[in-house]
Amino acid sequence: MTADELLLLIQPYLPYAMWAAIGLAGYVVFALLLWYTTWIFYCASMAFWWAGAQIQGETLRWVKLTGKIAFFLNVLLNYSVISVLLLELPRRKEPNVSARMLRHYRHGPDGWRKRLAGHIGRVWLDPLDPTGKHI
């Protein structure tokens, strides 16, 4: 089969491949933006945790709003991006990423999911947690 014959054979399917590539690229951009935004809100939440009782008055209202947004983003990240990354849906009592990473890291069998959960904990979560050990 020559290159011209091959091109004639696959030419009707090229628009579908193009739309699939655009959809995949869109998902990758969505995943990266959601991951980064969620991490920024995690950083803010940990900073508020460090500040603790020093936060009062009007600032406390903004802290609570930030916490609600952070939790929403965390749940969205858990169900959309982490599910694809780990190739599984979260269990019933794992609404956020931390609970899911904790299960894989502490209670999961040895394997790639445990290593990935450990890496995410060490690199992204533990350094900002006031206790030093988030998962």
Number of domains the chain contains: 1
Q: What is the pLDDT of residue 130?
A: 85
Nearest to 95 by CA among 107, 82, 79: 79
- Residue 110 falls inside a structural domain: yes
> pLDDT by residue (tens digit) across 39-50?
999 999 999 988
The C-alpha torsion from 110 through 79 and 27 to 20, rounded to 10°, is 90
- Residue 117 falls inside a structural domain: yes
Q: What is the pLDDT of residue 84?
A: 95
Q: How confident is the model at residue 132 (pLDDT cuts 50, 70, 90)?
A: confident
CA dist., res. 134 & res. 123, Å (int): 11
- Residue 54 falls inside a structural domain: yes
- Residue 40 falls inside a structural domain: yes
- Residue 18 falls inside a structural domain: no
pLDDT-above-90 percentage for the chain: 69
Distance from the Cα of residue 59 to its chain's centroid: 28
CA dist., res. 79 & res. 74, Å (int): 9
Q: What is the pLDDT of residue 7?
A: 82
Q: Which residue has the higher pLDDT, 3 or 82?
A: 82
pTM of the model: 0.84
- Residue 84 falls inside a structural domain: yes
* Average pLDDT over all residues of the chain: 92
Residue 111 belongs to domain spanning: 33-128
- Residue 23 falls inside a structural domain: no
Q: In the structure encoding, which two tokens stand for residue 18, read together?
A: 């193009």
Q: What is the pLDDT of residue 75?
A: 96
Region 3-26: what's the mean pLDDT? 88
- Residue 58 falls inside a structural domain: yes
